């Protein structure tokens, strides 16, 4: 039977011509169907809401709170009037009327369908939000709280602080210092039961201003339950108290739910003219919970991600001079963070520095009337201001001053223990910050003067002794005389009171202060907006000449020249020349001299985009160092050094332990040479 079936199939299969005719007929049918579809589309046949969706829509509108029978969400604005739905749906820049949405035809089917889909999404959102559904509709309002330092505007959509203005500050473009504006700062709590998740960013809160400094953003839920955020602006400060308040929430959120999600997104705004340096100090900063909790930051040089498993006390979105800090009364349970720098080709590159996202979890109980509470610090990175807020957490040091990048521990200690107190003390008597920097530099150089003088004296002695060292090298040219040459050289150093390392050690002791100042000036907010001579802002580059984008040059120097940086470079070259004349010249490293002159040019490329206050400080410091060099020359002359050598030669020689060990090593070397010579003579006699 199988063979018969196969033979029959083979005999009755269509020919190639018949297959071609069948394909032609199928193509013809498809073309007719496509034409019918195009004709139907041209006639305006479009998607519509189903009868079930219309029923759900009516139910949503009928169950909205009294006086709020309007859905206002995702461009959907619908209301119930005399038992009929009316309103509009905005899609992009186009607005579609309700009558057009319910029609089965449209002149613009694509826009019509998008409008229908927007209504469907809103209906799905209402279905998913259960007891919170009535709060999905409302009108955005801003409620302002302000004191002498800060003004915050709280949005009824999401119940969030959407704008913060710092009084007494300004940006390089605006007389107002807006830390963040509407749309730049968003955060949301996510509550959940066993089947649903409720994101507070989707809800419209009802504002209730309790007094001039406190407002309650409230959600009235089914069954008389209530959930809200109460904001209190602390008088005379940059602190905003945020308390989560609730009542009857155990009827909506089960008692076994003990955590809620918190998501915070902020686009860190640019406030300074020197964008490169401001961007370098922007990112996320956070502190681990506990008295000894460390403070760390995401990478400030580029994009970064962090997955923190430990508990945190606070997290912050910060830039060079200002920060937004969320401080938990309890803790933040773990955190995932991302920090992404604004791309140079992005249209908002000049407006924003970085885009940061923080996700964390917060302890929660639906039974407690205040399950969680926080402080928002929205203010400047001013050292004394931040230090004063440690009282807001009596159980542990908040270490908010670590928001200010003052360098590693040693350099930070110099800044916080010495430089900042002296800087503040000078500020009590001097109003011009350019003069304060000048006086501070003079004080620092006076304190370091003994080290500077000792370094110069050692260099001068080494230069004067250079001919004597050369003579010793000529007298003992052989390798077997290396020990003797070393002994004579050290004896010469001892008589002259010189050391080959005498010039290096004092300079090394000064380095921590130089590095501390390098971190202090760019982070000193007191210099922000302060003018001095031609510099309009000591915290920004003092541009005297600008140009557009020039390949290679712009990549290494930027698009401007800073005058204080040029002055610093010229002075540095002059100081290098003076230093080279006061040092013993070495023929073994001929390239070292050229390197010494290249270093100031390298620093010019580096400092050209830095704060003018920093370049000004180094310029003044170099001038003072040059003056000290000339003063030192009056006290350290070749005649005085030679007289010192002669006086030391006449004194009884008291050998140091090091010299004794050197002489013992020399004796052992001589004895070994004598044994080898004697051994060689015996071998000759035997032959």
Side-chain-side CA neighbours of 325 within 13 Å: the count stands at 30
Residues 281, 324: Cα–Cα separation, whole Å: 14
CA pair distance 682, 331, nearest whole angstrom: 87
> What is the distance between the alpha carbons of residues 613 and 201, in angstroms, rounded to a whole number?
43
201 in the same domain as 339: yes
Position 163 in a domain:
yes
Percent of the chain with pLDDT over 70: 76
Please give the residue that has the higher pLDDT: either 628 or 28.
628
If 0-12 CB within 10 Å is exposed, 13-18 middle and 19+ buried, where does residue 548 land? exposed
- Looking at the fold, whether 337 and 476 belong to one and the same domain comes out as no
Give me the pLDDT at residue 245, please. Answer: 95
| Mean pLDDT estimate for the chain | 79
For residue 393, give the CATH number of its domain: 2.70.98.90
**Residue at token pair 């010793």:** 472
- CA–CA distance, 387 with 220 (Å, rounded to integer): 39
With respect to residue 38, please indicate whether it lies within any of the assigned structural domains. Answer: no
Instruction: Report in angstroms the alpha-carbon separations of 269 from 105, 305, 344, 400, 614.
Output: 46, 20, 15, 21, 24
Q: How many CA atoms lie within 13 A of 362 on its CB side?
A: 30
The dihedrals phi and psi of 370, each to the nearest 5 degrees, come to -130, 85
pLDDT-based confidence at residue 438 (cuts at 50, 70, 90): very high
- Structural domain contains residue 151: yes
Q: Which residue has the tokens 């000449």?
A: 545
- The C-alpha atoms of residue 92 and residue 593 are separated, in whole angstroms, by 67
Q: Which of 226, 142, 150 is nearest to 182 (CA)?
A: 142
Which pLDDT does position 361 carry in this prediction? 94
At 585 the three-state DSSP class reads coil
User: What percentage of residues in the chain have a pLDDT greater than 90?
Assistant: 24
For residue 670, tell me if it sits in a domain.
Answer: no
Residue 490 lies in a domain: yes
Pairing mode of beta strands 142-146, 543-546: unpaired
User: Could you tell me if residue 188 is inside a domain?
Assistant: yes
Q: Do 377 and 465 lie in a common domain?
A: no
Residues 650-668, mean pLDDT to the nearest whole number: 59
**Strand pairing of 84-91 and 94-97?**
antiparallel
Q: How far apart are CA 203 and CA 135, in angstroms?
A: 5
When pLDDT is cut at 50, 70 and 90, the band that residue 629 belongs to is: confident
Give me the helix-helix angle, 591-607 and 563-582, nearest 10°.
Answer: 160
Reduced to 3 states (helix: H, G, I; strand: E, B; else coil), residue 143 is strand
Report if residue 222 sits inside a domain.
Answer: yes
CA distance 385 to 377: 11
Q: Which of 57, 232, 200, 88 is nearest to 136 (CA)?
A: 200
Helix (H) or strand (E) holding 24: helix 16-42
**Strand, coil or helix: 236:** coil
Q: Coil, strand, or helix at residue 593?
A: helix
> Which of 369, 388, 405 marks a domain boundary?
405
pLDDT band at 61 (very low <50, low <70, confident <90, very high): confident
The CA radius of gyration of the chain, in Å to the nearest whole number, is: 39
Instruction: Report helix, strand or coil for 198.
Output: strand
Q: Tell how far CA 417 is from the center of its chain.
A: 25
Query: Measured between alpha carbons, how far is 685 from 687 in angstroms, rounded to an integer?
Result: 5
Considering the domain architecture, whether residues 624 and 551 belong to the same structural domain is answered as yes
By mean pLDDT, which of 10-14, 169-173, 414-418, 548-552 is the weakest?
10-14
Q: What is the tally of structural domains in the chain? A: 3
Residue 325: which pLDDT band, with cuts at 50, 70 and 90? Answer: very high
Q: Are residue 296 and residue 348 in the same domain, yes or no?
A: yes
pLDDT tens column, 99-110: 888 887 888 888
C-alpha to C-alpha distance for 248 and 368, rounded to whole angstroms: 9
> Is 144 or 651 the better-scoring residue by pLDDT?
144
Distance from first CA to last CA of the chain, Å, rounded? 117
Looking at the DSSP assignment, which residues form a beta bridge with residue 325?
A: 316, 377
* Separation of alpha carbons 634 and 629, rounded Å: 9
Cα 406 from Cα 321, distance rounded (Å) = 12
Question: Do 48 and 117 form a contact (C-beta atoms < 8 A)?
Answer: no
Same domain (yes/no): 401, 469: no
For the beta carbon of residue 473, count every other beta carbon within 10 angstroms.
12
State mean pLDDT over 198-204: 89
Quick one: 399 and 506 in the same domain? Answer: no
Query: For the chain, how many residues are written?
Result: 687
Please give the residue that has the higher pLDDT: either 188 or 654: 188
pLDDT of residue 8: 38
The phi, psi pair for 659, rounded to 5°, reads -65, -40
Task: Tell me the three state secondary structure of residue 409.
Answer: helix
Three-class DSSP category at 620 = helix
- Note down the domain range covering 273: 142-405
Question: Alpha-carbon distance 460 to 528, whole Å?
Answer: 42
pTM of the model: 0.75
Query: Are both 258 and 119 inside the same structural domain?
Result: no
pLDDT, mean of residues 545-561: 68
Instruction: Say yes or no: 86 and 199 in one domain.
Output: no
Alpha carbon distance 231, 374 (integer Å): 10
In a 3-state reduction of DSSP, which class is residue 551?
Answer: coil
Q: Strand, coil or helix: what is 157?
A: strand
**Average pLDDT, integer, range 25-33:** 55
Residues 568 and 631 in one domain: yes
Helix (H), strand (E) counts: the chain: 18, 23
Is the same domain home to 331 and 449? Answer: no
**Does residue 304 fall inside a structural domain?**
yes
Do 120 and 151 belong together in one domain? no
Is 39's pLDDT higher than 70?
A: no
Q: At what angle do helices 638-650 and 482-496 cross, to 10 degrees?
A: 110
**Can you tell me the mean pLDDT for 274-299?**
85
Identify the helix (H) or strand (E) that includes residue 127. helix 109-128
Mean pLDDT in residue range 288-303 = 84
pLDDT at 38: 47
Angle at alpha carbon of residue 607, lines to 302 and 509, rounded to 5°: 100
Q: Is the pLDDT of residue 134 over 80?
A: no
* Best-predicted range by mean pLDDT (177-186, 487-496, 610-619, 659-668): 177-186
How far is it, in rounded angstroms, from Cα 354 to Cα 239?
A: 24
Q: Tell me which of 11-20, 54-63, 400-409 is least confident.
A: 11-20
Alpha carbon separation from 365 to 150, 248, 361, 362 (Å, rounded): 32, 11, 13, 10
Give tens-digit pLDDT for 149-169.
Answer: 999 999 999 999 999 999 989
Q: What is the pLDDT of residue 590?
A: 53
Classified as helix, coil or strand, 215 is: strand
Nearest CA to 315 among 331, 304, 302, 300?
Answer: 331
CB contact at 8 A, 574 and 241:
no
- Can you tell me the distance from the alpha carbon of 642 to that of 650, in angstroms, rounded to the nearest whole number? 13
Mean pLDDT of 583-591: 49
Helices 51-62 and 109-128: angle between axes, nearest 10 degrees: 60
The least confident of 37-46, 301-310, 595-604 is: 37-46
């Amino acid at each position: 039977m199988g063979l018969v079936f196969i033979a029959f199939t083979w005999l009755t299969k269509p020919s190639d011509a018949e297959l071609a005719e069948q394909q032609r007929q199928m193509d013809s049918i498809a073309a007719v169907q496509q034409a019918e579809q195009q004709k139907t589309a041209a006639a305006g046949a479009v998607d519509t809401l189903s009868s079930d969706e219309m029923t759900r829509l009516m139910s949503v509108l009928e169950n909205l709170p009294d006086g709020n029978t309007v859905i206002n969400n995702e461009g959907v604005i619908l209301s119930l009037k005399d038992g009929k739905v009316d309103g509009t749906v905005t899609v992009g820049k186009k607005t579609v009327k309700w009558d057009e949405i319910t029609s089965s035809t449209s002149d613009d089917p694509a826009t019509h369908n998008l409008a229908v889909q927007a209504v469907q999404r809103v209906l799905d959102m209402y279905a998913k939000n259960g007891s919170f559904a009535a709060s999905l509709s409302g009108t955005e309002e801003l409620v302002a709280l302000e004191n002498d330092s800060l003004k915050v505007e709280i949005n009824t959509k999401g119940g969030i602080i959407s704008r913060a203005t710092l009084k007494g500050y300004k940006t390089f473009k605006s007389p107002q210092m807006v830390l963040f504006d509407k749309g730049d700062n968003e955060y949301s709590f996510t509550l959940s039961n066993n089947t649903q998740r409720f994101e507070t960013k989707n809800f419209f809160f009802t504002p209730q201003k309790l007094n001039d400094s406190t407002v309650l953003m409230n959600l009235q839920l089914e069954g008389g339950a209530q959930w809200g955020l109460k904001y209190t602006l602390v008088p005379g400060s940059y602190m905003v108290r945020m308390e989560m308040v609730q009542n009857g929430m155990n009827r909506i959120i089960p008692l076994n739910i003990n955590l809620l999600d918190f998501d915070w997104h902020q686009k860190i705004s640019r406030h300074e003219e020197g964008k490169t340096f401001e961007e370098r100090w922007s990112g996320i900063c956070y502190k681990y919970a506990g008295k000894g909790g460390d403070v760390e930051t995401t990478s400030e040089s580029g994009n970064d991600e962090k997955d923190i498993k430990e508990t945190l006390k606070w997290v912050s979105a910060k830039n060079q001079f200002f920060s937004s800090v969320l401080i938990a009364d309890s803790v933040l349970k773990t955190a995932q963070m991302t920090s992404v720098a604004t791309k140079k080709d992005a249209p908002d590159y000049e407006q924003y520095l970085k885009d940061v996202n923080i996700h964390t979890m917060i302890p929660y109980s639906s039974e407690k009337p205040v399950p969680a509470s926080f402080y928002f610090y929205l203010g400047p990175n001013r050292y004394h201001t931040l230090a004063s807020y440690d009282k807001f957490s009596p159980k542990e040091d908040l270490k908010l001053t670590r928001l200010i990048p003052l360098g590693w521990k040693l350099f930070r200690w110099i800044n916080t223990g010495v430089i900042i107190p002296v800087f503040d003390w000078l500020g009590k008597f001097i109003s011009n910050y350019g003069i304060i920097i000048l006086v501070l530099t003079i004080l620092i150089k006076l304190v370091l003067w003994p080290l500077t003088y000792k370094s110069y004296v050692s260099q001068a002695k080494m230069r004067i002794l250079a001919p004597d060292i050369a003579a010793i090298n000529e007298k003992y040219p052989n390798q077997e005389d290396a020990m003797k040459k070393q002994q004579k050289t050290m004896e010469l150093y001892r008589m002259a009171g010189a050391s080959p390392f005498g010039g290096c050690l004092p300079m090394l002791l000064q380095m921590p202060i130089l590095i501390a100042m390098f971190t202090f000036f760019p982070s000193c907010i007191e210099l922000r907006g302060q003018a001095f001579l031609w510099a309009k802002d000591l915290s920004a580059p003092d541009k005297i000449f600008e140009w557009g984008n020039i390949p290679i040059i712009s990549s290494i120097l930027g698009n401007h020249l800073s005058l204080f940086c040029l002055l610093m470079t010229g002075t540095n070259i002059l100081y290098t020349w003076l230093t080279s004349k006061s040092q013993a010249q070495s023929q073994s490293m001929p390239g070292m001299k050229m390197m010494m002159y290249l270093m100031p040019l390298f620093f010019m490329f580096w400092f050209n985009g830095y704060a003018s206050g920093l370049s000004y400080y180094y310029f003044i410091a170099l001038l003072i160092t040059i003056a000290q060099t000339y003063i030192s020359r009056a006290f350290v002359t070749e005649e005085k050094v030679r007289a010192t050598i002669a006086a030391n030669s006449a004194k009884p020689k008291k050998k140091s332990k090091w010299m004794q060990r050197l002489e013992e090593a020399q004796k052992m070397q001589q004895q070994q040479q004598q044994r080898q010579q004697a051994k060689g003579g015996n071998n000759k006699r035997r032959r």
